[in-house]
Amino acid sequence: MDIFYKPPLQRPDECKALEENYINCLMQKALKDKVTTNKCVMDSILWFHTECPKAAGQFDDPNLFKLKFRRFFAMQRNTADSLLVDTEEEIRVQKTFGHTQYPEDMVVRPEVRAFPNEFKHLDPIYHPESEDDFENEILGINDEEIPKEDREYIDNIPGWPTRDTIEVSDSTKFSKQL
């Protein structure tokens, strides 16, 4: 246990979460706990006042208190509207694409026809590959087989200096004994 005083940390992420819990608790208590889900954590109220005294002090000013609750209600309404109210664009998209179409409901859209026409020469349906194409396929530039007599089996990495070219002082020599 620490004997010395430690000042509050006032970390922004922690204060934001604790403040949101504090507003939820105030709202829930204003509704006399007649809510569908309990979002209030009572222990966090104490932590909000001890860890974030500047943020908790803003609730004492009536003007800032109103601003914080207006912002809270605006966010709640924005969230509810985004989930419950559909815009004209969303309604149009739902009518166009929101159901399984029958073959007689299919509509040809000429504005999207440009893509298949542009890449028709690459389409495997129109130009299937023969089995000979697989045998003659070029996979890489360096796929040539190196003749066995030209191969060198060395114990170093290609491109790195060999043991002969590195100058080694007596203090850094290592023995090959295990």
How many CB atoms within 10 Å of residue 115?
9
The model carries a pTM of 0.47
Average pLDDT over residues 135-162: 58
Tell me which residue of 55, 60, 54, 66 sits closest to 21, measured CA to CA: 55
pLDDT digits (tens, 9 = 90+) for 88-134: 988 888 888 777 767 777 777 777 777 777 777 777 777 777 766 66
pLDDT of residue 121: 78
pLDDT of residue 178: 46
**DSSP-derived secondary structure letter, 100:** P
Average pLDDT over residues 16-35: 92
pLDDT of residue 17: 93
